[in-house]
Structure 1
Amino acid sequence: MNRFSLYWILQIIGWGSFASINIFFASLSSGSLTPAQIWAFITLSAFYLLSSHLLRYIVKTYEWFKLELPQLLLQVLLALLALSLVTTIAQIFINLGFGILNPKEDFRFLIISANLFLSFLFYALWFLCYFLFHFLDNYNNSLKYEAKINEIRLNHLKSQLNPHFIFNALNSVRALVDEDPVKAKSAITRISNILRFSLMMDKKQVIEFADELATVKDYLALESIRFEERLEVIYNIEEDAYSYKIPPMMLQTIVENAIKHGISNLVKGGLIEIKCREGIDDDLYIQVKNSGRLITPPTLKTKREGGHGLSNTLQRLKLIYGEKGTLRIFNSGTQFVITEIKIPKQRVNLE
């Protein structure tokens, strides 16, 4: 069950219980209730449900939980007061609509004050429950992320920066030592950059796009030494892409996947093209295009044979961005495969 379904189930159960309790105690005090009185309680509960949902929409839209505590408390207090006043007025109209309004009683200052206080109390309890749910849910996601990022880091060090990768890189450099010392020094620097970036990767959930791209360029420069003329690399990066932050090693993992499952399997090698653009929805689209062809498209639910890349990438996207972050892989014509990641416009503040 997703969070949206759970939210509505709890809303209906909560405010439905509110209506039932009111009806029960009202029947005890008056002996019996008319159908009009019962429907008035049900209508009032429905109003509470819709108005509390409106409050939730405002909280999420304007990101209240990212505010400083004093500002959050002030805005919540004002919102609860406004909703209490509106609900008290709505209660009068509901009673009027069902023909159960008693002007002598319902318009007394004490009754109106009591209704205001009770409405404020109900909304305050609702907001407290919603805040606790939001806090616990975020805390749970943080725990899951910390566990997953540790697994990803270990898998990355095992699969990407493994002895085989280092062995190939050092062999490529060794061949250049006598032939082209300047190029050999540059290759050693790139190896050092990749190792430093990976081993010093901290607990940040997102990093600057430029930093990730720099590591990818170092990696592809090393692979160009190994593949020589068999590897062609094209970068098509829009300037807007540099304003985004992305999860560390995400683009790197996709590029390595393209090399391992695409270029390495072709006798003549092929092309790697990295394209990053901002879509009309203001989301960042990252595409890695490589020579090759998918025979059976991966399900993205299990690890691909010999690698951890796609499944871990998808799981990180879901943990950080929820349903807004997507990953898909598909054939482009008969000669290329495209892996596309969408990073949503919403900037996460999880560092």
Structure 2
Amino acid sequence: MNRTVLYWLLQILGWGSIALVQIALGSLSPTGIGPVQILGLLVLAAFNLLATHFLRFIIKRYNWFQLKFPRLILQSVLAMLALSFVNIIAQILINLVFGTLNPEEDFEVLVILAGLFIAFLFYALWFLLYFLFHFLDNYNTSLKYEARINQIRLNHLKSQLNPHFIFNALNSVRALVDEDPDKAKNAITRISNILRFSLMMDKKQTIDFEDELNTVRDYLMLESIRFEERLQVVYKIEDEAYSYKLPPMMLQTIVENAIKHGISNLVKGGLIEIKCREGLEDDLYIQVKNSGHLHTPPSLKPKAGGGHGLSNTVERLKLIYGDRASFRIFNSENEFVITEIKIPKQRVTFET
């Protein structure tokens, strides 16, 4: 079931059930309960629903889930107290509108304190269930992410350490040992950087954009040794891009795909252009443009048994960012293929 639908269903069922219990208890009293009082209780339930929905907006807007536990408890208690006071005011206004207000009883200190206590208990129960649901859902999503990221890590290491890659990299270095020893040392350092980064990529869900870009530079420098004049690399990186975080090896995977399916198939080689810019809504747009032509759209669905490539990239984006990220690949002017990714500024939003 869609999370939004589930949220509203639980909200309606929860506050509706409380209203029904209050109506049932009222009907058992000696004086009974009239239609006007029933309507008043239903309006109060609607108020509680809207009040807690507004509170949910505040929680998500200011990212309470990232607060330390003592701070979270303090803010939650203060929020529940504030809502309880507003609830008492709402009850008085509802009784006033429906003509059921009894000033002698409704304004007694003990009655107000009892109303505050009951409202506080209701909101405390709402807080407990909401945060419990969030953390359980977050834990479940994290487990799926960890399983997926481990699969991607193994597949990537398999790809990076396959004999073809090692053969090309070492042959490129061997050709430089006598001709340009300094350049050969630099190439070995870049190979080491890539392999070390591959081994460390499962430590975090996201990494700094600069760290990912440095790995891509190392990789393209190695490929430049292999392709020589056949490979042109252009970087168009806005300064704002460095304030973002990316899933590790995501940009690397896209660039590898551009080399493997684009440049490698062209006799004269071609261009790899990496362009990163910030959008109007604090989103990072990453474009990898490579010479070539996309004859058939690649499969973006995960394959049975895994698979290293674009399908894993799409799956990781979905697990980490949900619907806030996007991925597309398309032809441009019949000469280039563009892979574009949109990533939100905030890292993870496991919404409920």
Query: Same fold, TM exceeding 0.5?
Result: yes
Distance 2:96 2:192 in 1: 77
| Correspondence for 2:149 | 149
Aligned match of 1:236 = 236
Code of the residue aligned with 2:214 in structure 1: it is: A
Q: CA deviation at 1:300?
A: 2.0
SS in 1 for 2:204: coil
Task: Look up the match of 1:286.
Answer: 286
Q: Deviations over 1:286-330 (max 9, x none)?
A: 1111112222323522349x9522121122222222222222212
Runs (5+) with no aligned partner, structure 1: none
> How do 1:33-112 and structure 2 match up within 5 A?
33-112=33-112
Counterpart residue identity of residue 51, structure 1: A
The one-letter amino acid paired with 2:190 is R
1:57 Cα offset (Å): 0.9
CA contact (8 A) 1:331 1:338 kept: yes
Q: Contact between 1:303 and 1:310, CA under 8 Å: does it hold in 2?
A: no
8 Å Cα contact 2:153/2:202 also seen in 1: no
SS in 2 for 1:281: coil
Percent of counterpart pairs with the same letter?
74
Q: How far 1:189 sits from its partner (Å)?
A: 2.1
Counterpart residue number, 2:162:
162
Cα distance in 1, alignment partners of residues 196 and 153 from structure 2 = 13
What secondary structure does 1:236 align onto?
A: strand
Q: Post-superposition shift, 1:15?
A: 1.0
1:263 matched to which residue of 2? 263
Matched, 1:132 2:167: no
Contact 1:303/1:309, CA 8 A, preserved across alignment = no
The offset of 1:343, in angstroms, is 2.0
1:262-302 deviations in Å (ceiling 9; x for gaps):
11222222110001112221222111111122223235223
Q: Deviations over 1:104-143 (max 9, x none)?
A: 3222222222111111110011001111111111111221
Confirm or deny: 8 A CA contact 1:235 1:274 kept in the other structure. yes
Label 1:61 to 1:174 Cα distance change in 2 as closer, same or farther (>3 A).
same
Give the aligned partner of residue 192 of structure 2: 192
Contact 1:44 1:91 in 2 (8 A): yes
CA displacement 1:201-260 (0-9 Å, x = unmatched): 341112221111111111111111222222111111112212222111111011001111
Q: Which residue of 2 aligns with 1:216?
A: 216
The 8 Å contact of residues 291 and 337 in structure 2, kept in 1 or not, is answered as yes
When normalised by structure 2's length, the TM-score is: 0.93
Q: Which residue of 2 aligns with 1:320?
A: 320
The one-letter code matched in structure 2 to 1:207 is I
Structure 2 Cα separation of the partners of residues 50 and 244 of structure 1: 35
Deviation at 1:11, TM superposition (A): 0.7
